[in-house]
Structure 1
Amino acid sequence: MPSHVPFRKWLKILAKIFLGLLLILVLIIASGIAFIAVRSHQTVMLPTPTGPYAVGRMEYDWTDQSREDSLAPRPGTKRELVVWAWYPAVRPTGAQTAPYLPPKWGDLNDQQHSAAFGLKIVQSYDSIQTHSFAHAQLATNEARYPVLIFEPGMGNIPAQYTTLIEDLASHGYIIFAINPTYSANMIVFPDGRVAEATNAGKPGDNDNLEVKGNKIVSVWARDVIFTMNQLEHLNATAGNMWSQHLDLTRLGIFGHSFGGATSAQVCHMDTRCKAGIDLDGTLLGDVLQTGLTKPFMVIQSEENPCDADCHTFQQGVQAILRTVPAGEAYHLNIKDTRHFNFSDYAAYFSPLRLLDMLGPIDGVRGLQITRAYVRAFFDKYLNNTPSPLLQGPTSAYPEVQFFKP
Structure 2
Amino acid sequence: MRLLEGILITVHILWLFSFLFKFDAKLKIIINITALTLLIIHLGLEGYRWQMGLTYVLYILLTVFTMKSFIQKNAKKVIIESAKNNRKVKKLIYILLIIIYSLSNFSLVTVMPVFQLPKPSGPFEVGMNSRHLIDETRHDGEQKARELMIQIWYPAEVEDGAKDIQYESFPYEEWSGTMEFIFSVPRFLFEYLKYGQTNSIKDIAVSNQENKFPVLLFSHGYGSTRMQSFSQMEELASHGYVVISVDHTNDAAYTKFPDGREMINQTDAYSYSFDIEDEEEVKRRSKDMSFVLDQLITINDGDTQGLFTGRMDMDRIGIFGHSYGGSTAAQTLLDDRRISAGINIDGPLHEPVASKGFEQPFMFILDEDYLYLSDEEIQYTNITTEEFKKYHDTITELADFHYKEGIKGDTFMLTFIAGDHYTFTDFPFLSPLISWNIDVNEFHQVMNRYILAFFDHYVKEKELDPLLRKEKKEDKFYDFKENIKIN
Matching of residue 365 in structure 1 with residue 442 in structure 2? yes
2:453 to 363, 376, 399: 376
1:192 is aligned, of 252, 260, 268, to 260
* 3-state SS of paired residue (2:448): helix
2:321 to 242, 255, 260: 255
Cα deviation, 1:171-196, whole Å, max 9, x if unaligned, reads: 00001110111111111111110000
Distance 1:51 1:368 in 2: 12
**Closer/same/farther in 2, CA of residues 115 and 32 from structure 1, 3 Å limit:** farther
Aligned counterpart in structure 2 of residue 225 of structure 1, from 290, 293, 296:
290
Instruction: Specify the SS of the correspondent of 1:68.
Output: coil
Q: Deviations over 1:356-388 (max 9, x none)?
A: xx6832111111111111111000111122211
- Decide whether the 8 Å contact of 1:347 with 1:364 is kept in 2: no
Unaligned runs of 5+ in 1: 1-24
Q: Deviations over 1:116-153 (max 9, x none)?
A: 89884x69311321000000100011111100010111
Trace 1:2-401 onto structure 2 (pairs within 5 A): 33-39=104-110, 42-69=113-140, 72=141, 74=142, 77-91=144-158, 93=162, 94-101=164-171, 104-105=173-174, 108=177, 120=189, 124-199=192-267, 204-205=270-271, 208-210=273-275, 213-237=278-302, 240-303=306-369, 308=389, 309-321=391-403, 322-325=405-408, 328-349=410-431, 351=433, 353=434, 360-385=437-462, 386-392=464-470, 394-401=472-479
Q: 1:132 and 1:314, CA in 2 relative to 1: closer, same or farther beyond 3 A?
A: same
Decide whether the 8 Å contact of 2:180 with 2:186 is kept in 1.
no
Q: Note the aligned Cα RMSD (angstroms).
A: 3.1
Q: What is the alpha-carbon distance in structure 2 between the residues aligned to residue 284 and residue 343 of structure 1?
A: 22
For residues 280 and 320 of structure 1, the distance between their equivalents in structure 2, rounded to whole angstroms, comes to: 14
Cα distance, 1:43–1:376 mapped onto 2, change above 3 Å: same
Q: Please say if residues 393 and 400 of structure 1, whose CA atoms lie closer than 8 Å, have aligned partners that are also in contact.
A: no
Q: Give the secondary-structure state (helix, strand or coil) at the position aligned to 2:169.
A: coil
Contact 1:53–1:170 under 8 Å retained in 2: yes
Which segment drifts farther, 309-318 or 60-69? 309-318
Change (3 A) 1:216 1:118: closer
Asked whether the equivalents of residues 317 and 341 of structure 2 are also in contact (C-alpha less than 8 Å), the reply is: yes
Shift in alpha-carbon separation, 1:343–1:269, aligned structure 2, 3 A:
same
- 1:17 paired residue number: none
Counterpart CA distance in 1 for 2:269 and 2:139 is 20
CA shift in 2, pair 1:376/1:123, >3 Å = farther
Q: Deviations over 1:63-90 (max 9, x none)?
A: 1000012xx4x2x531100000000001
Confirm or deny: 8 A CA contact 1:46 1:347 kept in the other structure. yes
Q: CA separation of 1:189/1:389 partners in 2, compared to 1, >3 Å: closer, same or farther? A: same
Distance 1:28 1:315, change over 3 A: farther
CA–CA distance in structure 2, aligned partners of residues 305 and 263 of structure 1: 17
What's the counterpart of residue 4 of structure 1? none
The answer on whether the counterparts of 2:215 and 2:314 sit within 8 Å (CA) in structure 1 is yes
Q: Which amino acid aligns with 2:420?
A: R
The structure whose residues are more often helix, as a share, is 2
Residues 88 and 139 of structure 1 are in contact (CA less than 8 Å); yes or no, is this contact kept in structure 2?
A: yes
The amino acid of 1:295's aligned partner reads: P
Report Cα offsets for 1:89-118 as digits up to 9, x if no partner.
01263221011116x546656766898898
| Count of aligned positions | 367
Instruction: Tell me the SS of whatever aligns to 2:459.
Output: helix
Q: Which has the higher contact order (CA 8 A, sep 6+)?
A: 1
Q: CA separation of 1:29/1:333 partners in 2, compared to 1, >3 Å: closer, same or farther?
A: farther
Q: Is 1:41–1:127's contact at 8 Å kept on the other side of the alignment?
A: no
TM-score of the two chains, using structure 1 as the length reference: 0.81
Tell me, yes or no, if the aligned pair for 1:40 and 1:124 is still in contact at 8 Å: no
Distance 1:27 1:215 in 2: 57
Once the two structures are superposed, what CA deviation does each residue of 1:228-263 show, in whole Å capped at 9, x if it has no partner?
100111122266322221111110000000001100
3-state SS in 2 of match to 1:374: helix
2:136 aligned counterpart, secondary structure = strand
- C-alpha displacement of 1:316: 0.5
TM-score by length of 2: 0.68
Cα separation, 2, equivalents of 1:306 and 1:65:
39
8 Å Cα contact 1:279-1:300 kept in structure 2: yes
The 2-side partners of 1:393 and 1:153 are apart by 32
Report the 3-state secondary structure (helix = DSSP H, G, I; strand = E; otherwise coil) of the residue aligned with 1:131.
strand
Deviations 1:297-341 (A, max 9, x none): 000012299685544322111222313335x10112012121001
Residues 414 and 478 in structure 2, CA contact (< 8 A), matched pair in contact too: yes
